[in-house]
Amino acid sequence: MELWFSEPHTPNVKLSVRVDRQVYSGESEYQRIDVFESPEFGRILVLDGYVMLTEKDEFIYHEMIVHVPMAVHPNVKKVLVIGAGDGGAVRELTRYPEIERIDLVEIDEQVIQVCMDYLPRISGKLTDERVFIHYEDGLKFVRSREDEYDLIIVDSTDPFGPGEGLFTKEFYGNCYKALKEDGIMVNQHESPFYEADATACMRAHKRIVESFPISRVYQAHIPTYPSGHWLFGFASKRYHPVHDLDAERWLEKGIETRYYTPRLHEGAFCLPAYVEKLLRKVEVHG
């Protein structure tokens, strides 16, 4: 008997991955949570039917969402991570000894529990003593913060369901306020390729451009996400993502990576013409 997990990427396209077994299935207060074991991608975390990560390609996403801002900002001490109950972004952050405190805000306690139980290679650093977990809505959490963080990482789900509020103008404005005067916000920015994703992408970009003086988009290749072509947003009050990249300083830290390099960092901000055009549309016409 063959078992397959499928995620529809559009009404006409789906990604199917052969699975050996379903390791976990449950319904939390917020969403359905599934974990599968697969021969090609290892364990797969699925929320409400959407692939959040697989053991095989999660390093690409987590390295790109963390090391890009870390190689730009010269002095990150306090970080806020929103969403990302799987702990992947936190794992990459804990590799920097200079970081003193990481606040992780995840609305769904059950996601953290399931990842601790079934995805230890990803969630393993959630127990680091610098990590403080808050089971709260990220939207509400940032409302009351001011001038507090050097870096905010928004590692949300897609812009529907529990993650919807993390794509609003109000949320980005509050992130701006919660950042110190030279703070950086990085967010997962959806894919530019299929129409519905591209619309979400443009909407998010428009709101970020309106909230931050510096706002650029960068890309990575993530095989299990829709189209495999994924974007991230880099928004900042002072630092430019490429001009202020300090490759030497980052290399001296001796952090071993499998995807990120400072050379790739520069290249990641060079976008395909159709993506530039898409983004320019909302930049110019407000």
Using the contact rule CB under 6 A, the part of the chain among 83-91, 130-138, 198-206, 256-264 near ligand AG3 is 83-91
* Phi and psi torsions of 80, nearest 5°: -115, 125
Nearest Cα to 112, choosing from 132, 133, 95? 133
DSSP lists the bridge partners of residue 59 as none
Using the contact rule CB under 6 A, the part of the chain among 36-44, 104-112, 152-160, 275-283 near ligand AG3 is 152-160
Nearest Cα to 116, choosing from 45, 197, 213? 45
Give, as ranges, the residues between 50 and 79 that touch ligand AG3 (CB under 6 A). 50-53, 61
Q: Does 44 bind ligand AG3 (CB under 6 A)?
A: no
* Phi and psi torsions of 143, nearest 5°: -55, -40
CA 216 – CA 226 distance, rounded (Å): 21
CA 146 – CA 153 distance, rounded (Å): 16
Q: Does 114 bind ligand AG3 (CB under 6 A)?
A: no
Q: Does 133 bind ligand AG3 (CB under 6 A)?
A: no
Nearer to ligand AG3, 34 or 245 (CB): 34
Nearer to ligand AG3, 51 or 235 (CB): 51
Nearer to ligand AG3, 245 or 275 (CB): 275
Q: Does 31 bind ligand AG3 (CB under 6 A)?
A: no
Using the contact rule CB under 6 A, the part of the chain among 22-30, 33-41, 86-94, 249-257 near ligand AG3 is 86-94
DSSP string across 145-208: --S-EEEEEEE---SSGGGGGGGSHHHHHHHHHHEEEEEEEEEE---SSSHHHHHHHHHHHHHH
Q: How far is the CB of 61 from ligand AG3 (least distance, A)?
A: 6
List active site positions. Answer: 155
